[in-house]
A = this chain, B = another copy of it.
Amino acid sequence: MHTLTPELLTRAQFAPFGDVIDRRDVSPLVINGGRTQRYDDLAVIDLLGQDFRPRISLFLSKPVALPLEINALERHPLGSQAFMPLHSERFLVVVAPAGGAVDLSTVRAFITDGHQGVNYRAGTWHAVHAVLDQEGEFLVIDRAGPGANCDEQQVSLTVAL
Q: Give the B-binding residues of A (Cβ under 8 A).
A: 21, 23, 28, 31-43, 45, 47, 53-62, 64, 82, 84-88, 117, 119, 128-130, 137, 139-141, 144
A38-B56 contact in complex given A84-B86, A86-B86, A88-B87, C-beta closer than 8 Å: no
Return the contact of A56 from the options B53, B58, B119, B130 (Cβ within 8 A). B119
Contact of A45 among B23, B56, B58 (CB under 8 A): B56
Whether the Cβ atoms of B32 and A57 lie closer than 8 Å is no
Residues in B neighbouring A32, C-beta threshold 8 A:
61, 128-129
Instruction: Please measure, in the bound complex, the distance between the C-alpha atom of A87 and the C-alpha atom of B64, giving whole angstroms.
Output: 22
A47: chain B residues at CB < 8 Å are: 54
Cross-chain contact A55 with B40 (CB below 8 angstroms): yes
Contact A41 B144 (CB under 8 A): yes
Residue of B nearest to A22 (CB): B58
Residue numbers in B under 8 Å from A41 (CB-CB) = 55-57, 144
Tell me if B35 and A129 are in contact (CB < 8 A).
Answer: yes
* Bound Cα distance from A82 to B141, whole angstroms: 11
Q: Which residue of B lies closest to A62 (CB)?
A: B35
